[in-house]
Amino acid sequence: MKRLIMVLVFAVIGAAVAGGYWYWQQSSGVGASSGEKGKGKGAKGGRGGVLTVKAVRAVIKPMPVMIEAVGTVEAEQSVQIRAQVSGVLQSIAFKEGDKVKAGQLLFQIDPRTFQSQYNQAIAALARDRAQLENARAQQQRLEPLLKREFITQQEYDVAVTSAKSLEATVQSGQAIVEQARIQLDYSRIVAPISGRTGQLAVRAGNLVAASGGGVPLVTINSTDPILVGFSIPERQLEDIRRYQNEKDMRIEILPDRAGGAVATGKLVFVDNTVTPQTGTVLLKTRVENAKELIWPGQFVNVRVVLTVEPEAVVVPEVAVQPGQDGPFVYLIGAEDKVEIRPVKVSRQLGSEIVIASGIVSGDQVITEIPQALRPGSTVRIDDAAADSGEKRKGKGKGGKKGEGKSSEGGKADAAKP
């Protein structure tokens, strides 16, 4: 029984091997029969053929040296408005969110109680002044009588003391009048700064209390000028300190990274310590914000432009490839042969990369890398305008672009096999 099973197993294995060999023979035959077609394709895209690539020339142009960070917009002045006297809120002289000016009336607390206290204080002061005048007159009448010894010294001293006492009473009354006037003024709450108001915490008709805590009636934030705070790594602080007194140094504020700067300012604050948890230093800039394009509490992109490098070698970002030994580019050399050129990247600005070393202005670098591209491959530049004579003639602005690339297009046509 065991021998029969072994025979069957060997038979199955032999059949599988025979079937695989037959399939391999058939596949080889088909590949041989279609060899001419494969040969045609290899002539165009294989290692031995000419590859079509897109390339640009490295250019020299002024490029800024800058530090990028994320900042937070903050009001240069922020005031929480609170009541300094207790009473019923009679009226509100603005709408929440309005811009207000310093000294503008914001709230009116019922002033009747404070007005009556002020009037009472004025009346008491008038009474005390009248009594003082009478006491001084009495003193003046008694003074010649004392010289003639018609009255005793004690009687004269009583008159003098009474006058001095009333002088003190008048001074106290003046202080009470001033205090009552201040309380009356506190019933009118005015804006201490110019800025934009926030959300109202109380409405007219409610009782407000004079207290240091609690929710403020409203908060006013100044919006023009405005501050932007941002942090940079401590290693970049040396660059900031080196250029901060240069006139070319500026700080640009960009709400959208892809958009343009909406405000430009100067550095106004460098913190005196490094944050241990993050290893960063806090900086601030003051910018004009008349159109209120940025808002307190908003996150923005910050560019610290230290200086401008007048002659920087620039290539597109897509031309620089990452490698194990560092970045490199595919360079089109002599006889349209491709070579790999290691480069040292200085910095990246948007879709452009500034090259510190490795290539020079005029070098052609490949921007779209075919899979079959290898060092030593022969390539030709793909110029879309060269495919059609009508496109080279162009219409309007298109004609000018065709003329600008005609020399490269002619080279590409000459290189066609």
CATH, residue 57: 2.40.420.20
pTM summary value: 0.63
Looking at the structure, tell me whether residues 87 and 216 fall in a common domain. Answer: yes
Q: Is 389 helix (H, G, I), strand (E, B) or coil?
A: helix
Looking at the structure, tell me whether residues 88 and 216 fall in a common domain. Answer: yes
For the chain, how many residues are written? Answer: 417
CATH of the domain at 234: 2.40.30.170
- H/E element, 61: strand 59-75
For residue 402, is it within any domain? Answer: yes
Determine the Cα–Cα distance for residues 296 and 301; give it in Å rounded to an integer: 14
Among 203, 220, 237, identify where a domain stops. Answer: 220
pLDDT digits (tens, 9 = 90+) for 328-342: 999 888 888 889 999
For residue 407, is it within any domain? Answer: yes
Among 248, 282, 309, identify where a domain stops. Answer: 309
CA-wise closest residue to 356 among 347, 365, 366: 347
Contacts 24+ apart (CB under 8 A), 253-261: 253/71, 253/228, 253/285, 253/287, 253/294, 253/300, 253/301, 253/302, 254/300, 254/301, 254/302, 254/303, 255/293, 255/294, 255/298, 255/300, 255/301, 256/301, 257/301, 261/303
The answer to whether 278 and 261 are in contact (CB under 8 A) is no
| Mean per-residue pLDDT, 193-212 | 89
- DSSP, res 275: B
Determine the Cα–Cα distance for residues 332 and 336; give it in Å rounded to an integer: 6
Looking at the structure, tell me whether residues 210 and 100 fall in a common domain. Answer: yes
Determine the Cα–Cα distance for residues 314 and 64; give it in Å rounded to an integer: 12
pLDDT at 213: 66
Looking at the structure, tell me whether residues 322 and 410 fall in a common domain. Answer: yes
CA-wise closest residue to 65 among 203, 216, 246, 214: 246
Among 133, 163, 186, identify where a domain stops. Answer: 186
Domain boundaries, position 136: 111-186
Looking at the structure, tell me whether residues 99 and 131 fall in a common domain. Answer: no
For residue 42, is it within any domain? Answer: no
Looking at the structure, tell me whether residues 199 and 145 fall in a common domain. Answer: no
Cβ-Cβ contacts under 8 Å for 126 (sequence gap 6 or more) = none
Looking at the structure, tell me whether residues 316 and 409 fall in a common domain. Answer: yes
Looking at the structure, tell me whether residues 348 and 394 fall in a common domain. Answer: yes
The answer to whether 208 and 82 are in contact (CB under 8 A) is no
Residue 151 reports pLDDT greater than 90: no
Amino acid at 383: D
For residue 15, is it within any domain? Answer: no
State both tokens at 354: 């500034």
State both tokens at 174: 């003046």
15-29, 33-47, 257-271, 294-308: least confidently modelled range: 33-47
Looking at the structure, tell me whether residues 228 and 298 fall in a common domain. Answer: yes
Looking at the structure, tell me whether residues 87 and 198 fall in a common domain. Answer: yes
CATH of the domain at 180: 1.10.287.470
The answer to whether 54 and 366 are in contact (CB under 8 A) is yes
pLDDT digits (tens, 9 = 90+) for 66-89: 888 999 999 999 999 999 999 999
Range with top average pLDDT, 23-32, 311-320, 383-392: 311-320
Amino acid at 367: T
For residue 95, is it within any domain? Answer: yes
For residue 31, is it within any domain? Answer: no
Q: Per the structure, how many domains does the chain have?
A: 4
Question: Model confidence at 156, in pLDDT bands (50, 70, 90)?
Answer: confident
Task: Please state, rounded to an integer, the average pLDDT across all residues of the chain.
Answer: 81
- H/E element, 253: strand 250-254
For residue 409, is it within any domain? Answer: yes
Looking at the structure, tell me whether residues 247 and 266 fall in a common domain. Answer: yes
Looking at the structure, tell me whether residues 264 and 331 fall in a common domain. Answer: no
pLDDT at 21: 59
- DSSP, res 386: G
Determine the Cα–Cα distance for residues 244 and 266; give it in Å rounded to an integer: 9
Residue located via tokens 């390539």: 379
Cβ-Cβ contacts under 8 Å for 216 (sequence gap 6 or more) = 80, 81, 82, 201
pLDDT digits (tens, 9 = 90+) for 277-305: 999 999 999 999 999 999 999 999 999 99
Q: Is 8 helix (H, G, I), strand (E, B) or coil?
A: helix
For residue 38, is it within any domain? Answer: no
CATH of the domain at 97: 2.40.50.100
Please provide residue 167's backbone torsions phi and psi, each rounded to the nearest 5 degrees: -60, -45
122 dihedral zone (left: phi>0; alpha: psi -120 to 50; beta):
alpha
